[in-house]
Chains A and B, each alone.
Chain A
Amino acid sequence: MGCFERLITKIGNWGTVLGAIFMSAIALIITATVIGRAVRVALPGTFDLVETLVVVGIAFALVFGQLQDRHLRAEIAIERLRGRVKSGIESFLSIFNLFYWAVLLYAGAAMLSDKWGKGESTEILKVPVVPFRGVWVFALILMCLLLLFKLFHHLRRLIKGEVEK
């Protein structure tokens, strides 16, 4: 499993790089629009481009947050606990976290399959939206796998009684 986990982590990190590139593109497109407006040159379709490109950035930002275990949580109670009690609560919460993201994955995948044949696209530039829905579903799969790995780690600690490093 270690090998598979490393692979998923690597994919997540590369996805984050891709997301950062898309974010930069958004900043440049909007700035070009502002400059264009100042010199009275209209750049149509900025909204379309931003609303689609940003999906890639945000989807992988969520994955990166999970990779770095930085999703904000109150740690006052959990940080005071030790050993099996802590691992037990962490495992219990990991199941809930996984369930939440699995629901999002199921709903996102169902929406993707629904929109697949309908040719959903943006209003002005007619950019197809389906590939971006696909990226979101892919990010959700990564997210679920990362949470699954985390659950396994907590369960192992719970069973073996290991102390978190």
Chain B
Amino acid sequence: MTPIEIGIIGFLVLFALLILGMPIGFGMGLVGFVGMLTLFPFSAAMIKMATVPFQIMSSYTLAVLPLFLLMANIILVAGFGEDLFKVAAKWLGHRRGGLAMATIIAASGFAACTGSSLATAATMTLVALPEMKKRGYEQKFATGSVCAGGTIGSLLPPSAMFIMYGVLTENSIGTLFVAAIVPAILTAISYLLTIYLQCLWNPQLGPPMEKTPLGERIAALKDCWEIILLALFIFGGIVFGWFTATEAGAVGAVGSVVLALSRKRLTFAKFKEAFANTMRTTGLIYGIIMGAFVFNYFCAKSTIPSALGEWAAGLPVPPWVIMSIVVAIYVFLGAIMDEPSIQVLTTPIFYPLIVTHLGYDPIWFGIMQVRLLEIGLIAPPVGMVCFVVAGMDKTITLQNVYRSILPFLYMELIALRLFMFIPAISLWLPSLMK
């Protein structure tokens, strides 16, 4: 059998194992190991199995992940998300759909500290959804804004998806974080526009609240200025080169603990909860990364990525056509698989194709990939954000949650075209770093 045939069989076996319910990381590691055994001597495969996991565990760069997770979990248990929403609601609540807009703003602010779509969606479901319902917002409209707000978490630093992409492709995580800022802001604006247009079309969707006096609105800022400052300090630190992404994670983790303690928000029980969540998620992600590295090694040695790249580069079509096919594949996969699986499975195949053979910028592709995965977070039938919202709010069915997200999904597809054809949106800010 040729290496390519072995590689194809490896992919098929992996898909079968994943569909049956094998943990993603374990499945990738196992198939990678067995694949290596068919391509190399036993001793060479065993050396790889000994060195790869230990190298990943002892990586200074990868330590960014648990540190940012710790920061996110501290902020989550300390209840800062609620503060952000209350402040945003005071500033925007008097407009039509104002609370939905406040949800997007608060979700963006919260996501900037946690980098997690699921945590953002869960927090906003608890905080913003009951308030919108109380104020007479139409249920599907309110739910849609919570789901959409949730997705911003994947796009804003410290997003775990960017960390994963950076690790898998050996690109700078700091540069990816910086490159994501403008797309994330544009995404938030596109969501605000969607809410505005929906309310313009049907004013009953989000009735306005009474206006809060300006003095009260300014006074409300004191409830969340520290958390905004912490997020800005971390972004600023990476952009201006004060510290690396890993250092930003450590400063963020220590800063969030200090902040939560100073606001008397951190009891021992909450501290324990934050650490338990951090350890659990860290274990989960490292399990995937270890398996992904073993599998990627096998995949590279099977020569599938280079063969695919050479074949695609030889096609008589412009690169954007191939990129469009890749986008379509991501959208399709997003509808049937969860995002971490898609990311670890597709990166070793599509990265060499898009970056090495078609010549696209690796940072731009990282942004595109995370945006596509972000769409997958809300796309039926496996939109994880929608699962979270429907699971937490029992008054709405999953089907209606999916319906509620459609206007935002259309807007996402328009925004995606912009990001695809205007790479400067992603690459302008990192270019200032150089």
Which B residues lie within 8 Å of A75 (CB)? 21
A27 engages B254 (CB within 8 Å): yes
B251 engages A31 (CB within 8 Å): yes
| Separation of A59 and B288 alpha carbons in the complex (Å) | 13
B319 within 8 A of A: no
Which B residues lie within 8 Å of A30 (CB)? 67, 246-247, 249-251
Which A residues lie within 8 Å of B22 (CB)? 73, 93, 96-97
**Lowest 3 CB-CB distances: which A-B pairs, in order?**
A65-B283, A30-B250, A78-B21
How far in angstroms is the closest Cβ of chain A from B265?
Answer: 18
B315 within 8 A of A: no
14 sample A-B contacts, Cβ–Cβ < 8 Å, listed by A number:
A23-B279, A27-B250, A28-B250, A29-B250, A30-B67, A30-B246, A30-B251, A58-B286, A61-B282, A64-B283, A74-B337, A96-B27, A96-B30, A111-B50
B423 within 8 A of A: no
Instruction: Kindly identify, within residues 240 to 266 of chain B, every residue whose CB is under 8 Å from any CB belonging to chain A.
Output: 242-243, 246-247, 249-251, 253-254
Known: A62-B283, A97-B23. A27 touches B67 (CB 8 A): yes
| Separation of A93 and B341 alpha carbons in the complex (Å) | 17
B12 within 8 A of A: no
Please give me the residue from chain B that is nearest to A68 by CB atom: B280
Please give me the residue from chain A that is nearest to B30 by CB atom: A100
Which A residues lie within 8 Å of B46 (CB)? 103, 106-107, 110
Which B residues lie within 8 Å of A101 (CB)? 26
Please give me the residue from chain A that is nearest to B337 by CB atom: A74
How far in angstroms is the closest Cβ of chain B from A61?
Answer: 4
Please give me the residue from chain A that is nearest to B32 by CB atom: A100
A52 within 8 A of B: yes
**Interface bin, chain B:** 35 or more
**Interface bin, chain A:** 35 or more
Which B residues lie within 8 Å of A68 (CB)? 280
A108 engages B253 (CB within 8 Å): no
Interface residues of B (CB under 8 A from A): 17-27, 29-30, 33, 46-47, 49-51, 53-54, 57-60, 63, 66-67, 70, 242-243, 246-247, 249-251, 253-254, 275-276, 278-280, 282-284, 286-288, 337-338, 340-341, 382
B33 engages A31 (CB within 8 Å): no
Known: A65-B284, A104-B49. A74 touches B341 (CB 8 A): yes
How far in angstroms is the closest Cβ of chain B from A1?
Answer: 23
B250 engages A100 (CB within 8 Å): no
| Separation of A59 and B249 alpha carbons in the complex (Å) | 20
| Separation of A51 and B54 alpha carbons in the complex (Å) | 10
B66 engages A23 (CB within 8 Å): yes
| Separation of A120 and B246 alpha carbons in the complex (Å) | 25
Instruction: Kindly identify, within residues 26 to 54 of chain A, every residue whose CB is under 8 Å from any CB belonging to chain B.
Output: 26-31, 33-34, 38, 47, 50-52, 54
Which A residues lie within 8 Å of B33 (CB)? 100, 103
Please give me the residue from chain A that is nearest to B288 by CB atom: A72
A111 engages B54 (CB within 8 Å): yes
Given contacts A50-B63, A97-B23, 15 further A-B pairs with CB under 8 A are: A26-B66, A26-B250, A27-B67, A28-B250, A30-B249, A31-B254, A47-B60, A52-B58, A54-B66, A61-B283, A65-B283, A71-B23, A73-B24, A103-B46, A107-B46
Which A residues lie within 8 Å of B254 (CB)? 27-28, 31
A125 within 8 A of B: no
A58 engages B282 (CB within 8 Å): yes
Which A residues lie within 8 Å of B57 (CB)? 54-55, 58-59, 136
The interface centre, meaning the residue of A31, A60, A76, A111 with most chain B CB atoms within 10 A of its CB, is A31
Which A residues lie within 8 Å of B20 (CB)? 77-78, 89, 92-93
Q: Which of A51, A57, A108 contacts B59 (CB 8 A)?
A: A51
Q: Which of A33, A38, A71, A106 contacts B25 (CB 8 A)?
A: A71
| Separation of A52 and B208 alpha carbons in the complex (Å) | 56
A110 engages B251 (CB within 8 Å): no
A116 within 8 A of B: no
Q: Mark A153-164, 1 if CB is under 8 A from B, else 0.
A: 000000000000
Which B residues lie within 8 Å of A33 (CB)? 247
| Separation of A54 and B250 alpha carbons in the complex (Å) | 13
Which B residues lie within 8 Å of A9 (CB)? none
Known: A23-B278, A30-B246, A104-B53. A58 touches B251 (CB 8 A): no
| Separation of A48 and B355 alpha carbons in the complex (Å) | 33
Known: A71-B283, A89-B21, A136-B57. A27 touches B70 (CB 8 A): yes
A108 engages B53 (CB within 8 Å): yes
How far in angstroms is the closest Cβ of chain B from A16?
Answer: 5
B63 engages A71 (CB within 8 Å): no
A20 engages B30 (CB within 8 Å): no
A138 within 8 A of B: no
Which B residues lie within 8 Å of A104 (CB)? 29, 49, 53
Please give me the residue from chain B that is nearest to A65 by CB atom: B283
Known: A93-B20, A96-B17, A108-B53. A70 touches B284 (CB 8 A): yes
Which B residues lie within 8 Å of A99 (CB)? 30
| Separation of A141 and B245 alpha carbons in the complex (Å) | 33
Please give me the residue from chain B that is nearest to A26 by CB atom: B63
Q: Which of A28, A29, A111, A132 contacts B51 (CB 8 A)?
A: A111
Please give me the residue from chain A that is nearest to B71 by CB atom: A27
